[in-house]
């Protein structure tokens, strides 16, 4: 390998360390759960995973993966349209469509791929994608990719700003298709997209609305069906994408849900589908078991919400000021990146794992620690974590 190339990478990595943005991985040696065994740390309480419903380690979910390994073997050994589709993929896709309330769905190996597939496959040169400023990186890259591949236009509207979105839609009235994309729940804020207004605005401007429900599936709505259920709008969103890597078992995978035509078109033309293997059957079967578990145990969603409410209220009582909200994502703004990292390190020393996020992941001066609550947490887990927040908050003069 070129010495110059290696040297440049090493120099940049050293700069990451000096800038305090170098990420060190924590290795877990137990399943993802409320408490995990972290190498070099022992048992820690996790307030930092997307295992919202605690299904990663649910016996039915694990058993379904094991049974699938025996029935279908290790994997597809081919892309879907050649000979890489198993009956479990069809069952999973029917279940995902049923869960989110669309006519069909199509699975991908990640929600990243699902998002990436939509604009670049369904849009063309005379179309535009209009994206919320705070959308997930996969949506931002999906729009950039579509612009490069199919030469569609792109625009960004200010976060949740309906006036700005309306201006962008009006300016794009000559476009054949206007695709508006928003996260359902914004992962760094824990805030919920203003879906009723978005649906109304998109209808009025004849725009297609796509919602990425990766942090909302299994979380929002009485039955965990997502942002649409939360607002009583099931069936009103044109395209929903979501992940199988968070509330729905936490393994990997994602899906696009929409009309039969949308999913069929993606089956015909989406490049991440046409040129890459499908989900391993073990993962598909665990995800299917997760959807079925959610459908038969909506009380998990109630537990999740009760836990999130409990933790948020106690944090406020302690004197912290989490961003207001009603989701299990509870960010505490600390200002500078170093402050967030210090807080996260001190909490870990107390046996509580909460990640600190700084610039450029969040805006300058708004570094934060982000707590994520799970239905798997017991009140003891949450009380122990709160005691650590109290101790560290006092040490750092935050409360
Ligand atoms: C809003 C959103 N969309 C998409 C993704 C990507 O999900 P996956 O891990 O399935 O690729 C994430 C994961 O962080 C996310 O938060």
Annotation marks residue 390 as catalytic: no
Q: How many CA atoms does the CB half-sphere of 42 hold within 13 Å?
A: 3
Q: Catalytic one among 89, 136, 168, 215? A: 215
Annotation marks residue 246 as catalytic: yes
**For the chain, how many helices (H) and strands (E)?**
15, 15
Q: Which residues contact 373 (CB under 8 A, 6 or more apart)?
A: 47, 52, 304, 307, 308, 311, 328, 330, 382
CA 51 vs CA 35, 57, 139, 340, 361: distances in Å:
12, 9, 22, 22, 21
Q: Catalytic one among 107, 131, 187, 374? A: 187
Expressed in angstroms and rounded, the spacing between residue 33 Cα and the centre of ligand 1 is 19
pLDDT of residue 153: 98
Expressed in angstroms and rounded, the spacing between residue 246 Cα and the centre of ligand 1 is 8
Strands 352-353 and 153-157: unpaired
The pair of structure tokens assigned to 189 is 């804020």
The distance of Cα 337 from the centroid of its chain, to the nearest Å, equals 23
Contact 237, 119 (CB under 8 A): no
**Ligand 1 site: residues with CB under 6 angstroms?**
110-112, 115, 136, 138, 183, 187, 212, 214-215, 243, 245, 254
The distance of Cα 27 from the centroid of its chain, to the nearest Å, equals 21
Q: Using alpha carbons only, what angle is made at residue 328 by residues 303 and 54, rounded to the nearest 5 degrees?
A: 50
Expressed in angstroms and rounded, the spacing between residue 353 Cα and the centre of ligand 1 is 20
For the question of whether the overall pTM of this predicted structure is more than 0.95, the answer is: yes
Task: Compute the distance between CA of residue 182 and CA of residue 241 in angstroms, rounded to an integer.
Answer: 10
pLDDT of residue 43: 96
Task: Compute the distance between CA of residue 96 and CA of residue 104 in angstroms, rounded to an integer.
Answer: 8
Q: Which of 106, 131, 219, 245 to mutate to test the pocket of ligand 1 (most atoms within 8 A of CB)?
A: 245
Expressed in angstroms and rounded, the spacing between residue 387 Cα and the centre of ligand 1 is 31
Task: Compute the distance between CA of residue 120 and CA of residue 116 in angstroms, rounded to an integer.
Answer: 7
Exposure string (b/e) for 218-253, b if CB count within 10 Å is 16 or more?
Answer: bbbbeebbbbbbbbebbebbbbbbbbbbbbbbbbbb
Of 217, 293, 294, 245, residue with least CA distance to 108 = 245
Q: Which of 136, 213, 287 to mutate to test the pocket of ligand 1 (most atoms within 8 A of CB)?
A: 136
Length in residues, the chain: 399
Which H or E run includes 119? helix 111-122
Annotation marks residue 105 as catalytic: no
Q: Catalytic one among 89, 136, 230, 246? A: 246
The Cβ of residue 113 has, within 10 Å, a number of other Cβ atoms equal to 21
Helix, strand, or coil here: 221? coil
Expressed in angstroms and rounded, the spacing between residue 210 Cα and the centre of ligand 1 is 15
pLDDT of residue 236: 98
Q: Spell out the per-residue pLDDT of the chain, length 399, in tens.
A: 688 999 999 999 999 888 877 888 999 999 999 999 999 999 999 999 999 999 999 999 999 999 999 999 999 999 999 999 999 999 999 999 999 999 999 999 999 999 999 999 999 999 999 999 999 999 999 999 999 999 999 999 999 999 999 999 999 999 999 999 999 999 999 999 999 999 999 999 999 999 999 999 999 999 999 999 999 999 999 999 999 999 999 999 999 999 999 999 999 999 999 999 999 999 999 999 999 999 999 999 999 999 999 999 999 999 999 999 999 999 999 988 889 989 999 999 999 999 999 888 888 899 999 999 999 999 999 999 999 999 999 999 998
Ligand 1: atom nearest CA of 113 is: 11
Ligand 1: atom nearest CA of 112 is: 11
Q: Which residues contact 214 (CB under 8 A, 6 or more apart)?
A: 111, 136, 183, 184, 185, 187, 241, 242, 243, 246, 254
pLDDT of residue 32: 96
């Amino acid at each position: 390998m070129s010495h110059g190339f290696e040297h440049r990478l090493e120099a940049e990595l050293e700069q990451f360390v000096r800038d305090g943005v170098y990420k060190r991985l924590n290795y877990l040696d137990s399943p993802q759960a409320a408490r995990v065994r972290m190498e070099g740390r022992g048992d820690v309480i996790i307030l930092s995973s997307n295992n919202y419903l605690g299904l990663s380690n649910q016996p039915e979910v694990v058993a379904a993966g094991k049974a699938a390994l025996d029935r279908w073997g290790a994997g597809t050994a081919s892309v879907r349209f050649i000979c890489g589709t198993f009956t479990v993929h069809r069952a999973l896709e029917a279940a995902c469509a049923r869960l989110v309330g669309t006519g069909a769905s199509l699975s991908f190996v990640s929600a990243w791929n699902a998002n990436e597939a939509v604009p670049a496959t369904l849009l063309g040169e005379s179309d535009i994608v209009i994206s919320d400023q705070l959308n997930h990186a996969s949506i931002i890259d999906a729009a950039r990719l579509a612009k490069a591949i199919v030469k569609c236009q792109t625009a960004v509207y200010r976060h949740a700003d309906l006036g700005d979105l309306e201006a962008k839609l009006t300016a794009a009235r000559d476009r054949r298709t206007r695709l508006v994309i928003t996260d359902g729940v914004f992962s760094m804020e824990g805030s919920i997209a203003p879906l009723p207004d978005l649906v109304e605005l998109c209808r009025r401007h004849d725009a297609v609305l796509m919602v990425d429900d990766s942090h909302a599936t299994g979380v929002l709505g009485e039955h965990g069906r997502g942002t649409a259920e939360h607002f009583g709008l099931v069936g009103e969103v044109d395209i929903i994408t979501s992940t199988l890597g968070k509330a729905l078992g936490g393994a990997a995978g994602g899906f696009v849900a929409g009309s039969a035509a949308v999913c069929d078109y993606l089956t015909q033309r989406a490049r991440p589908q046409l040129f890459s293997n499908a989900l391993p059957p073990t993962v598909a079967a665990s995800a299917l078991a997760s959807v079925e578990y959610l459908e038969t145990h909506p009380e998990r969603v109630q537990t999740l919400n009760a836990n999130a409410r409990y933790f948020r209220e106690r944090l406020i009582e302690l004197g912290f000021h989490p961003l207001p909200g009603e989701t299990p994502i509870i960010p505490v703004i600390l200002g500078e990146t170093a402050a967030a990292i210090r807080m996260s390190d001190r909490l870990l020393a107390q046996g509580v794992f909460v990640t600190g996020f700084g610039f450029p992941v969040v805006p300058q001066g708004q570094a934060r620690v982000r707590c994520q609550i799970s239905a798997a947490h017991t009140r003891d887990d949450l009380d122990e974590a709160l005691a650590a927040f109290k101790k560290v908050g006092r040490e750092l003069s935050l409360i």
